[in-house]
Amino acid sequence: MTLPSGVRLETGPGGLDRLSVETTACTAELFLQGAHLCRWQPAGHPHPVLWMSRASRFEAGAPIRGGVPVCFPWFGPRAGDAAAPPHGFARTRPWAIESVSSTPGGEVDMRLVLRADAATLAIVQQAFSAVFSLRLGHTLRMALEVTNDGAEAFRFEEALHTYFTVADVRQVSVDGLAGATYLDKTDGGRRKTQSEPVVRIAAETDRLYLDTTAGVSLIDPGLARRITVEKTGSASSVVWNPWIAKSRAMPDFGDDEWPEMICIETVNAVDNAVVLAPGACHELSATVTVTALEG
Ligand code: BG6
C-alpha cells in the first residue's frame, strides 16, 4: 500500500506494527493491534493530548495502557463471563488497514477494519464488521462503525476509551454531565445523580453516565487548556481516574501516574447498549478539540 507523505508504517515497541504521522497539522501514532491511537498532538500545542503510561505493555495480545483503546463488543467485565477479557476483544486483535490518505490541509484519514473470524466466533457467535476511521489534523475525529453481518439481532457495547494528559487531576473539572444519572462503580454500581455542576476528582472515580448525548469538556488550568469531546451515536460517557490504591494494583500502570491522567470515554453501555438488526450498521463518533484557556 502506498502511504501519503508524512505517514510511515514502522515497527514499534514489542515488535508491534504502527502507523506514524508527522504532518503540518499534527503528529500521531496508531498501533494496528486494537487500531490503538497512542499519540495525537496538534501542531503548536506543547503538551501531549493523549496520555500514555510509562508502564504500558506492548505485547501481542495484551492491552496497551493509555491513548484510545477501542472497546467492543462489551464494556468492562463481560456479563455472565468472568473469564472474558475486560472491554472486549477489539483492543487486542490485529486490525487491517483499509486505506490511508491525506487532505490538502495536511490532515490524514485512516480506515482500519476488524471482521469476525474463527477466534472471535469462538468467543461471540456473531458475524460483524467494524471500521474504525480517524481524521488526524488540528482536531481529531474518530468513528467506530459496526455492521451486523449475521442473521439475528446483535446487541453490543462499545467505547472510545480516551485517556487525556492533565497537569494534576485534582485541579481539573469536567463539564457537560450535570443532572445525569450515573452508575458509580466505586460504590457497587449504585445509580446516582450528578448533582454538582461539574465533576471534580478527589478520590477513585469510575462513573458510567447514562442517557447523555451531549459533548463533554475537560478544563485543565495547569496546562491552560480545554479539551472538548463532541460526540454522535453515543448515549453514555465514562469518567475514570484510578487514584492511589487501584494504580498500585494495576501492573501496567505506574504507581505515581494517576495525577497525570483522566479518562473521558465516549460509550454505549448497559442501558445504552446498541441493538442492531441484521444488515444494519451503527456509528459512534468522538471529535476532540484543544483550545487555550483565556488568561
Ligand atoms: C474504565 C472502567 O472504563 O476502564 C474501569 O470504567 C476500568 O472500571 C478502566 O478499571 C480500565 O480498564 P482496563 O481493563 O483497561 O484496566
Per-residue pLDDT of the chain (295 residues; tens, 9 = 90+): 899 999 999 999 999 999 999 999 999 999 999 999 999 999 999 999 999 999 999 999 999 999 999 999 999 999 999 999 999 999 999 999 999 999 988 899 999 999 999 999 999 999 999 999 999 999 999 999 999 999 999 999 999 999 999 999 999 999 999 999 999 999 999 999 999 999 999 999 999 999 999 999 999 999 999 999 999 999 999 999 999 999 999 999 999 999 999 999 999 999 999 999 999 999 999 999 999 998 6
**Ligand 1 center to 140 CA (angstroms):** 23
pLDDT of residue 42: 97
Query: Dihedral of the CA atoms 86, 51, 102, 283 (nearest 10)?
Result: 40
Whether residue 240 has its Cβ less than 6 Å from ligand 1: yes
Cα(243)–Cα(107) distance, integer angstroms: 36
**Ligand 1 center to 196 CA (angstroms):** 23
**Ligand 1 center to 238 CA (angstroms):** 10
CA angle 52, 56, 62 (to 5 degrees): 120
161 is catalytic: yes
**Ligand 1 center to 261 CA (angstroms):** 13
Given the residues 87, 161, 257, 260, select the one marked as catalytic.
161
Please state the atom number of ligand 1 nearest to the C-alpha of residue 75.
3
Q: Which of 240, 248, 257, 267 to mutate to test the pocket of ligand 1 (most atoms within 8 A of CB)?
A: 240
Whether residue 36 has its Cβ less than 6 Å from ligand 1: no
HSE at residue 272, side-chain half, CA atoms within 13 A, is 24
Whether residue 220 has its Cβ less than 6 Å from ligand 1: no
Please state the atom number of ligand 1 nearest to the C-alpha of residue 208.
6
10 is catalytic: no
At a CB cut-off of 8 Å and minimum separation 6, what does 116 contact? 124, 126, 127, 128, 129, 149
Flag whether the pTM goes above 0.85. Answer: yes
Please state the atom number of ligand 1 nearest to the C-alpha of residue 63.
15
